[in-house]
Structure 1
Amino acid sequence: MAKALNHRQFRSLLDELESTYSDLLLHNKVRWLSRGEVLKRFAACLEEVKTFLGSKGLTFPELEQPEWLEKLHFMVDMTAHLNTLNTALQGKGRTALHMLEEVLAFERKLTVLARDLQKGTLSHFPNLREFKEAHMINSDYLHSAIIIMQTSFGKRFCEFREEKTTLSFPVTPLSLDPSLLNTTALAGVSQPDLEMELADIADKDIWVSKFKRLTADLEDVARQKAVLAQNHKWRDIENLPKPDKLVFETWNAIPDVYVNMKKYALGVLSIFGSTYVCEQVFSNMNFIKSKHRARLTDDSLRSCVKMKVTAYSPDVQTLCTEFQEQKSH
């Protein structure tokens, strides 16, 4: 792939063999889903790769070792599951609670995957199942790899798991035990006053109904998103109301007399669940400032980035009417 001649010859070979794919994929460290797609394509073109290497007089013993190939196909399936998790964590409007729930759900799925490997059914490992049907081998390594991954997930997200009650506060504040909330990280929030405000609002139907409506709206958005994703209507998903916006609107409607509740909720909502938005800004900067626009000043670049990442849609017609037209002499 790194040499143009070899690359052209390999693509010609794929064309001659009428392969499903016309080329391999290159790994891109910037893109989160790249590794899984590269592995999947490599495994799909494995026989063509071996044929091409043989024509060049190159030998790689691993490509003939069933144990190594078993691990390769296991990684193809496993990275596909990880890519599904990564996709769920990407995008704007993802609160820390939403991301934690996705991670906890994936930890439970790892238990299902480990059981699937232990039984040997391989229902959730299609590539590995197809490989094992042709090579009757049995390795305990794969099951242990899943167990190690479970342990790693448990250690990495243990602190978030302990704060799940705190992260749930903006959505379900009235159903939580105030004594379990962590207020140490949020300056300006008084634990005693917060408890009194929660006790005061609990029987005010006009405000309680807003949180009930919020829950119903979030459920409706999640339901619509699941249906659209099932039908691969990704553009329509972007037009759905953003969950974080619904939560912010609800809390903005709560009167300021419940100041500690609002500070606590908005403080929790401000927690960054991932670096996705930051990485998106850097990607936009690299796209804007290319070799064709190398002379952009910092102010111009800053303005371009702001226009690229904002959701604001200006009324161009109204703005144009505010300027006097240049009349010809």
Structure 2
Amino acid sequence: MDFKNKNEIVQKIKDMPLSAKTVKDRTLKMAEDISKQQIQDINSAVAYSIACDESKDKGDIEQIALFCRYVNSFGPQEELIELIPLKDQTRGEDICKAVLDFLSAKKINTNHLVSVATDGAPSMRGAQKGFVALLQKALGRTLLSFHCILHQEALCAQTFPPECTKVMDVVIQIVNKIMAKGLNHRQFRLLLDEVESTYSDLLLHNKVRWLSRGEVLKRFVTCLEEVKTFLASKELTFAELEQPEWLEKLHFMVDMTAHLNTLNTSLQGKGGTALHMLEEVLAFERKLTVFVKDLQRGTLSHFPSLREFKQSHDAINLEYFKSAITAMQSSFGKRFCGFREEKNTLSFPVTPLAIDPSLLNMTAFPGVSQPDLELELADIADKDIWVSKFKCLTATLEDVARQKAILAQNHKWSDIENLPKQDKLVFETWNAIPNTYINMKKYAFGVLSIFGSTYVCEQVFSNMNYIKNKHRSRLTDDSLQACVKMKVTSYSPDVQTLSTEVQEQKSH
């Protein structure tokens, strides 16, 4: 917002004599105020879910990111509740104790906790001593438990044959040779400029991020002739660049990583429901069948880079690539079990009238009566005024999905961010349904709270490492938690109330 006296206000703030201790104390107070608001909303929500992940900060302290997802009067919220430091061991029992101690200390009611999402580490998902198993044992009931869908997708993507994986290793070696030395890098960019290449530079690969692989390979292939010319000028030899068997695998990897990147991107971001994530994965599984048939026919309609390579070579090993995709398809089929088993449950908020209530998972929703839910579904089924709400929701979701597809096709990613969020649209529909159907609403809001991934935790760790960096490695746990919470929360501290509690400092 722009004020007429904005510059004057900014200068007044700059002139305020705040010590480092004062800034720290007030940051802690604001974060504490936000925590109180969050806890109040969680305890008043009909249901909530948690996502939990761990990562080391710059001081080698293991930090547990604990997120809650719930529905309040403004709609679905995804909030960092706490960064919990673990100073000693990080076994499943240590994580479980830390989380339960925090929930107890903050008086967060666990009676309406419905689901938990984690990564696939043994400390999180071990059958006997994993965090999830111990949490359910401590609560004395079964929760809906999900292994982060993004982690599972990344594991499936790693099923490429060893020869294909080695292609990536060679590409990275070459890129490093070019970009590691400043002179080499400048000369290579100059070469690209002279030949008017599509790209002005190569990309470095970050092993942590799967998405970077596809972009690195795509740009490398586009600049392949320029790369060969430059390496020859520096008397650097990579025999693989002249081997047709290696080059065909390179072009295959370009195409497959592009397809995987499209899936990965669709699973990221806020506002997506667990149902949406599952549907994206199931759709990709079907696409893998299409890819196999495409290779069998030899048309390569879905492999543009490999098709271009084939045009200048006599033959390529299509059977090898077909077996690689079949192995990946098998890996996809063995994973995502938790999501597949609960597809009816996850679909309920969008298509409640099309689902047999006997197929819904009721065990994780202690506040919902199944007999009453069945009666409510029977009662609402022929009332056009409410049935039309769900028809409108389906039509709206279809329209948003159509717009998103068109924008993605045109690479207008920022415009996609401005589209209505799926979970918000679902919430608005159910919020308009009267409390006569309270069990249906409770169930829908409970399902809407489910985390499909721990994506939000990964985002927080990025912020954590930015805040507690090598220049601020002595930041205390309390200060780190407060700074990260202030950075990522959608809540605002009640500054007016907080300011009345602060003692006014008189000038001397």
Q: Aligned residue for 2:256?
A: 78
Write out aligned runs for 1:143-222 (5 A): 143-222=322-401
Q: Output the amino acid matched with 1:12.
A: Q
Which fold has the larger relative contact order, with Cα–Cα distance below 8 Å and residues 6 or more apart in sequence?
2
1:154-180 deviation line (CA, Å, top 9, x unaligned):
111344334322211011101211122
The alpha-carbon deviation at position 81 of structure 1 amounts to 0.6
Establish whether residue 233 from structure 1 lines up as the match of residue 408 from structure 2: no
Q: Give, in angstroms, the shift of residue 56 of structure 1.
A: 5.0
Check conservation: 2:268, 2:455, Cα contact below 8 A. Answer: yes
Show the counterpart of 1:269.
Answer: 448
Percent identical pairs in the alignment equals 79
Q: CA RMSD in A?
A: 3.2
Whole-Å separation in 2 of the counterparts to 1:126 and 1:186 = 48
Match of 2:402 in 1: 223
The TM-score, its normalising length taken from structure 2, stands at 0.57
Deviation at 1:71, TM superposition (A): 0.9
Q: Does 1:307 align with 2:486?
A: yes
* Higher mean C-alpha displacement, 237-246 vs 288-297: 288-297
Provide the residue aligned with 1:63 in structure 2.
241
Task: Give the aligned partner of residue 282 of structure 2.
Answer: 104
Rounded to whole Å, the distance in 2 between the matches of 1:142 and 1:72 is 11
Alignment pair present for 1:37 and 2:212: no
Deviation track 1:224-251 (CA, whole Å, cap 9, x = no partner) reads 3334334443333222221101212332
Could you tell me which residue of structure 2 aligns to residue 95 of structure 1?
Answer: 273
Residue 240 of structure 2 contacts residue 246 of structure 2 at CA under 8 Å; is this kept in 1? yes
Q: C-alpha separation between the residues in 2 aligned to 1:181 and 1:130? A: 49
TM-score (norm 1): 0.85
Letter in 1 for 2:346: L
Q: Classify the secondary structure of the residue corresponding to 1:146.
A: helix
Q: Tell me, in whole angstroms, the C-alpha distance in 2 between the residues paired with 1:32 and 1:92.
A: 19
1:260 paired residue among 416, 439, 443: 439
Using the alignment, how far apart are the partners of 1:227 and 1:150 within structure 2?
A: 27
* Whole-angstrom distance in 2 between the partners of 1:168 and 1:127: 37
Are the counterparts in 2 of residues 27 and 38 from structure 1 also a CA contact under 8 Å? Answer: yes
Amino acid across the alignment from 1:31 = R
Inter-CA distance 292–219: structure 2 relative to 1 (3 Å threshold): same
Q: Distance in 2 between matches of 1:219 and 1:4?
A: 45
Aligned equivalents of 1:156, 1:5: Cα separation in 2: 39
| Structure having the larger proportion of residues in helix | 1
Equivalent residue for 1:23, pick from 186, 193, 201 = 201
Residue 7 and residue 117 in structure 1: after superposition, are their counterparts in 2 closer, same or farther (change >3 A)? Answer: farther
Q: Which residue of 2 aligns with 1:12?
A: 187
Higher strand share: 2
Query: Cα–Cα, structure 1 residues 266 and 115, in superposed 2: closer, same or farther, change >3 Å?
Result: same
Deviations along 1:124-157, one digit per CA (max 9) or x if unpaired, are: 2111111111121231101111122222111113
Pick closer, same or farther for the CA change 1:121–1:252 going to 2, 3 Å: same
Moved over 6 A (4+): 2-5, 313-316, 325-329
Counterpart among 205, 220, 225 of residue 47 in structure 1: 225
1:249 aligns with 2:428: yes
Letter in 2 for 1:89: L
C-alpha contact 1:169 1:176 (8 A) present in aligned 2:
yes
Q: Distance in 2 between matches of 1:146 and 1:3?
A: 32
Residues 1:136 and 2:314 aligned together: yes
Report the CA distance between 1:271 and its aligned residue. 1.9
Question: Relative to 1, partners in 2 of residues 1:154 and 1:56: Cα closer, same or farther, differing over 3 Å?
Answer: same
Name the counterpart of 1:282.
461
Contact 1:14 1:48 in 2 (8 A): no
**Quick one: distance in 2 between partners of 1:32 and 1:315?**
40
Amino acid at match of 1:305: V
Secondary structure at 1:87's aligned position in 2? helix
Q: Which runs of 5+ in 2 are unaligned?
A: 1-175
